[in-house]
Amino acid sequence: MKKLLFGAILLALVSVFPVTAMADVNVGIGISLPPIVFGGPVEVVALPDTAGVYVVPTISVDLFFWNGWWWRPYGGGWYRSRYYDHGWGYYRYVPSFYYDVDPHWRGYYSNRHWNGRPWNYQPVPHSQLQSNWSRWQKDRYWEKQRKWDVQGYSAKPQKQRQELRQQRQVEYQQRPEVRQHQQERKQQQRQQPQVQQRQQQQRQPQVQQHQGQPQPPKGHSRPQEEKYQGESRHQQSKGKPEGGAPDYKK
């Protein structure tokens, strides 16, 4: 009876939530990306003109921290994790913070100048970031109190910031790896309805088979021999878990 109920619920979920919708939520959980080599303890710097975006400046790949997540572009797509070195899951959109990031930030970091002004940044250790990022973001700490550690800093007008975002978005969409990734995604989306249809066809006979099995009359008890055999099997299986828990940390 439990198997029958589970099969019916599973079929209902597949019917109500198509494969495309379910994929949008958990696509690529636990994806193994090329590892990042860190030369020492992870430290970040706060990027000026952003809403609480931090970056690890001492590695060759882009690794950002924003809104409680670590973000990493790879192969034209985006991945995020609660950890900076593992547990990456695919994120189907471009994170909203990215178009606020100045694409020349690495040069500014090397020269310790931000748009021609001295940038006296202070690296933030990982432990300090984890303990304070939420409060800093709420209070707009780096913008209001620290002025991003940029001497003579003045915020750009809102109109100029919007224009820069639009310009960076256009430039990002024109990157070869991004265009290739988008084409692959579109091809996968065209194939998903066929995959969904095949999955439904495979599950439907199983559910119908369970539904067609005769059920014992109400109030009718199972034979004593079968009952005892079931109890014996249950006792033998005690203490033997059926598989381990997944290793991925959401």
Helix (H, G, I), strand (E, B) or coil at 133: helix
pLDDT digits (tens, 9 = 90+) for 150-177: 999 988 899 999 999 999 999 999 999 9
Residue 213 lies in a domain: no
Residue 150 lies in a domain: yes
Q: Which of 99-103, 178-182, 220-224 has the least mean pLDDT?
A: 220-224
Handedness of CA 217, 219, 220, 223 (dihedral sign): positive
pLDDT over 90 at 46, yes or no:
yes
Residue 208 lies in a domain: no
Residue 75 lies in a domain: yes
Residue 12 lies in a domain: no
Q: How many domains does the chain have?
A: 1
pLDDT of residue 39: 86
> Mean pLDDT across the chain, nearest whole number?
78
Give me the domain span that covers residue 166.
Answer: 31-174
Residues 81, 88: contact at Cβ < 8 Å? yes
pLDDT of residue 88: 96
In eight-state DSSP terms, residue 246 is: P
pLDDT digits (tens, 9 = 90+) for 171-190: 999 999 999 999 998 888 88
Q: Which of 24-38, 75-89, 120-134, 225-239 has the least mean pLDDT?
A: 225-239
Who has greater pLDDT, 15 or 222? Answer: 222
Residue 138 lies in a domain: yes
Residue 73 lies in a domain: yes
Who has greater pLDDT, 135 or 195? Answer: 135
Helix (H, G, I), strand (E, B) or coil at 124: strand
Percent of the chain with pLDDT over 70: 66
pTM value is: 0.67
Q: How buried is 250 (Cβ within 10 angstroms: 0-12 exposed, 13-18 middle, 19+ buried)?
A: exposed
Overall average pLDDT of the 79-93 stretch: 96
Residue 16 lies in a domain: no
